[in-house]
């Protein structure tokens, strides 16, 4: 379309391939993410069990050193 521009023509990048060290770091990162997901599921289950056991939200927040609104958010409930 003939419009002059001061920017160079865009060039496609070659696909990125990790070296051995980068591949190892990526594998460790993936394993850590999977462990974190399992821990998150366990945490949510325990938090729901504590709520079912009628443990006060304020006590849960104190025990976990977070604000009450964090506990409500993790339980998926609106704050009272």
pTM more than 0.75: no
Residues 70 and 61 sit within 8 Å (Cβ to Cβ): yes
Residue carrying the six token digits 């419009």: 3
Mention every residue, 6+ apart, whose C-beta is less than 8 A from residue 8: none
Short-list 13, 15, 73, CA closest to 47: 73
Residues 75 and 51 sit within 8 Å (Cβ to Cβ): yes
Task: Report phi then psi at 13, rounded to 5.
Answer: -85, 150
Reported as a single tens digit per residue, the pLDDT across 1-16 is: 567 777 777 888 888 8
Per-residue confidence at 80, pLDDT binned at 50, 70, 90?
A: low
């Amino acid at each position: 379309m003939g419009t002059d521009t001061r920017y160079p023509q865009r060039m496609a990048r070659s696909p990125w391939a990790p070296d051995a060290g980068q591949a190892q770091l990526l594998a460790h990162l993936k394993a850590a993410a999977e462990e974190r997901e399992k821990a998150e599921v366990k945490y949510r289950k325990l938090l729901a069990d504590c709520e079912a056991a009628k443990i006060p939200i304020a006590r849960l927040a104190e025990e976990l050193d977070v604000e009450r609104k964090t506990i409500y958010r993790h339980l998926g409930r609106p704050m009272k």
